[in-house]
Amino acid sequence: MIGLDTNILIYSHRRDSPWFSAADREVRSLVSGDQRWGLPWPCVHEFFGVVTHPRVYSPPSLITEALAQIEAWLNSPSVSLLHESALYWETLRPLLVEGHITGPRVHDAKIAALCEVYGISELWSADRDFNRFPGVRVRNPLVG
């Protein structure tokens, strides 16, 4: 199962992104396809916060636009929503300790833990920080 990181979600939503076309094509193929794909709830929250933030985008996405985008993803018949479960803490804790994770990198550790718990075989991301989590195979679908 493929998981989607926040940056891929943002690039597929924001037409002003230089990666919009590639990201939109890749995300649409998952959303409309039969293959199961994973959407981590923390990435949904972060997506909403980033695309609607006026200091990040000028103009930012309207709340209604961001909500409609999220709902389109949630309505995909092949989506699996990744959320904290009983196995979450026992998966997250060693990632924090072994990776010496502090501060804002905790967010990436949360995503990595969810990917491990749900058996995500590949996380699509443009973020190289995930390389610090050996249990998560990361691929940027927007390059080569």
Counting residues of the chain whose pLDDT is more than 90, the rounded percentage is 95
Q: Vertex 69, ends 72 and 123: CA angle to 5°?
A: 80
CATH number at residue 103: 3.40.50.1010
Domain assignment present for residue 144? The answer is no
Domain assignment present for residue 83? The answer is yes
Cβ atoms of 120 and 38 within 8 Å: the answer is: yes
Domain assignment present for residue 7? The answer is yes
Domain assignment present for residue 123? The answer is yes
Q: Which of 120, 115, 28, 111 is nearest to 76 (CA)?
A: 28
pLDDT at 126: 96
What tokens appear for 87 in the block?
């196995």
The residue segments making up the domain with residue 104 are 2-139
Domain assignment present for residue 58? The answer is yes
Domain assignment present for residue 68? The answer is yes
pLDDT digits (tens, 9 = 90+) for 47-101: 999 999 999 999 999 999 999 999 999 999 999 999 999 999 999 999 999 999 9
With a cut of 80, say whether residue 144 has pLDDT above it. no
Number of domains in the chain: 1
E strand or H helix at 80, and its extent? strand 79-82
Domain assignment present for residue 99? The answer is yes
